[in-house]
Structure 1
Amino acid sequence: MVDLNGDYRYNILAAAAMLLQCQLAGVACGHSRRKYKIDYPDMGCGRYASKLSDKEWVEFNSAIRVHQNYVEQLPIAVGGVLLGGLYFPRFSAALGAVYVVGRFLYAQGYTKFGPKGRMAGAITANLSAIANLVTSFVGIYFAFKNGN
């Protein structure tokens, strides 16, 4: 069994929080589907969605985009927090926590204020994900340099 008594356990926690948060965004999509009676495979631009008012269409598509964007970003964020954590576990886990907060702000802003409302969360989440990728490459560089 893997020893998770060290600091890397926080990276595992951050990755698990990201996965849970993405799943909850998917649940919110399901609520929007039921609210607006949009069946699969309509993703917001099909026959069912065409029957919505403009306001309803924007609200439905905002919920869909929150989840879809998370799905698009999740491999980068989880990979970054797990790889960066191999070399700099505390720093990388902290960046993972910032990412989770950023995604929360993104979801709240997008669903309440539309696409412009996502910016604070998008910037926060994206900068933390990029920082974790940089952390990963810095760690890899030092591992090669030191022969580890």
Structure 2
Amino acid sequence: MATIEISPDYGFVIAVAVVSCLLVFFFSAKVTSYRKIAQVPLPFLYADANECKEDHKKFIFNCYQRVHQNTLEGFSTYLVMLLLAGLEYPIASSVMGGVWCVGRYLYYYGYSSGHPGSRQLGAFGHLGWIGLLGLAGKMAYDLIASRP
């Protein structure tokens, strides 16, 4: 049976996880506040295309909403990989998580500018996620390979 010893460096992993959750909360708050400005009523997730042509605020609201939803689509796998890979590789995982966070923020900044193509500013954030996936995969391989 494998035992896991948690390094004090795992605190960095937890700190990055907290920052990640705050980032997702920030995106949610931006959607909520801009929903009021654009007057997009609940339960509608988006304004339709015709509304966006007539009212630029509705288009911007859709940009905020899309950033938030896109982030949520991959957030659970990112967070699981961060917390698992961090058990064995806390510093590398913290750095990868930081790359993801900075990339996500730049993605948000570009997308919410009203020019959705500008979201590519944050495309490098995927490298953080891919790095975490690789570290977690290596950890799984090492555990399986160490079986008697």
TM range (shorter): 0.7 to 0.9
Aligned CA-pair RMSD:
2.3
Q: 2:124 matched to which residue of 1?
A: 124
CA contact (8 A) 2:89 2:135 kept: yes
How much does 1:142 deviate? 1.0
Distance in 2 between residues matched to 1:92 and 1:99, nearest whole Å: 10
Compute the displacement of 1:99 (Å).
0.7
Cα distance, 1:73–1:32 mapped onto 2, change above 3 Å: same
Q: Amino acid of the residue matched to residue 31 of structure 2?
A: C
Q: Residue 135 of structure 2 aligns to which amino acid in structure 1?
A: T
Stretches of structure 1 that go unaligned for 5 or more consecutive residues are none
Hey, what does 1:26 align to over in structure 2?
28
CA distance in 2, matches of 1:92, 1:74: 15
Give, as a single letter, the amino acid of the residue that structure 2 aligns with 1:87: E
Q: TM-score if structure 2 supplies the norm length?
A: 0.87
- The residue type paired with residue 35 of structure 1 is I
Q: Which moved more, 1:76-85 or 1:138-147?
A: 138-147
Structure 1: distance between partners of 2:63 and 2:54? 14
- Cα 1:5–1:87 shift into 2, 3 Å: closer
Deviations 1:28-81 (A, max 9, x none): 0011111011110111145xx837725223211001011111111111211111
Q: 1:58·1:114 contact (CA, 8 Å) conserved in 2?
A: no
Q: Are 2:137 and 1:141 aligned?
A: no
TM-score by length of 1: 0.87
Q: Counterparts of 1:132 and 1:142 in 2: how far apart (Å)?
A: 15
Note the 1:57-96 alignment, pairs <5 A: 57-96=58-97
Asked if 1 retains the 8 angstrom alpha-carbon contact of 2:96 and 2:128, the reply is yes
Identity of aligned residues (%): 27
